[in-house]
Amino acid sequence: MDSVHPGQPGPGNPGAAPSGAPDSGGVRQKPMPPAPGWGRRTFWLLFVIVIGAVLLGGAAYFEYVTKPAMMAQFFQPPPPAPVESATAATEDMPRYFESIGTLTAAQQVTVSPELEGRVEKINFDSGQWVKAGDVLVQLDDSTQRADLATYQAQQRLASANLARTKELASKQFSSKQSVDQLQSELDQARAGIAKSQAIIDHMVVKAPFSGMLGIRQVNLGQYLAPGTALVTLTDLDTLYVDFTLPEQDRAELSLDQPVELRVDAFPDRVFRGEIAAIDPQVDPNMRAVKVRAALTNTDHKLQPGMYARIRAILPPQPNVVTIPEPAVDYTVYGESVFVLTAVPDKKDPNGKPLYKAEQTFVTLGSRFNGKVAVLKGVKDGDLVVVGGQLKLHNGAEVILSDQKSLQTPVEMPKE
């Protein structure tokens, strides 16, 4: 059977008194606390929901409204970059073979005496311009002149004796042998005169051709041996420049072909000449052809021994697309240029037209006068960037700068 507590209503205790009522014994029981109400629970639940909705709404507003506005403010796209530009053009491209060489004189000699003797007179100064036949040095020829006088006296005596002997021989008073003997003595005297005169002439040192003298290397009273260097004599009116070219260039070389050269002493001047000789043999060691060009030097600016940079001029190549050299960007991936295309109906805040820069890889040819030939990648009339490439990327919008900070260099200035 189920047990029933006293005072607890149930099937077995139907007469139990209600809670809080005195029992049959007269004792009042402690009342039970009431169960919590649904009003407070609902309040706190609604409070949490409202706070969560506010936080979520604030986060959503920051993410989708405030944050984009801040990013737009701090990360605005940069304004169009100003660049310098140039237009690709079609022109005749100069062609030439380049080399280096050394200037030599057409005529240059070290003046020296043929005979020994003491210097009696010096008739020149260092660096003097002389003409052919001018006397430079006179050696002592007193002994030779004395010999000359002796032979001249012998000549006169032999000539008189010969004349008398011939007259006697005609009258049969002298023999033919006597005539021949006297004729031989006369001839010997004449030979002695010629020899002495030749020696005297060689005691005078003369300029073999017109030119400029070098530094004097002789002093008055100095005794000279044959071949002693007195001074150098150089003809500066005409100079040669000798250089070499690879053997594969031989087919395009010819006599009288124009050449241009520059020297370090006059870097802003171009000197011109013509090919005067081409060696008929190819150097088997270097596989190169020796070439000599001649040039006039009337102002005597050039001097033998100067180092020269040479160009042998060839016929130009027609219809070649060229751009300034600064337009080319050199990278490990190849050479490229930025080609500009106008953006239709779009301008910057100042009203300047906008252009779009497209990086284009190119194939280059020869370079000349600050320009480079483009064999592939750029066509005639294309607008290319020549200044400001470092701040560009493919597809960037740019404007054309009014300033021209880059000047195209000229490799071969004209005279």
CATH architecture of the domain covering 81-93+318-400: Beta Barrel (2.40)
Q: What is the pLDDT of residue 72?
A: 59
Q: What is the CATH number of domain 113-139+204-229?
A: 2.40.50.100
Per-residue pLDDT of 308-357, as tens digits, reads 999 999 998 899 999 999 999 988 888 999 999 988 888 777 778 889 99
What is the second-level CATH architecture of the domain 98-104+233-316?
A: Beta Barrel (2.40)
Question: What global pTM score does this model have?
Answer: 0.60
Hey, where are the domains in the chain?
A: 81-93+318-400, 98-104+233-316, 113-139+204-229, 141-202
* Contact (Cβ atoms closer than 8 angstroms) between residue 58 and residue 285: no
Q: Indicate the fold that domain 141-202 takes in CATH.
A: Helix Hairpins (1.10.287)
Taking the alpha carbons at both ends of the chain, their separation in whole angstroms is: 138
Q: What is the pLDDT of residues 107-136, one digit of tens each?
A: 999 999 999 999 999 999 999 999 999 999
* Per-residue model confidence (pLDDT) at position 25: 46
pLDDT in tens, 128-164: 999 999 999 999 988 889 999 999 998 999 888 888 8
Per-residue pLDDT, averaged over 300-311, amounts to 93
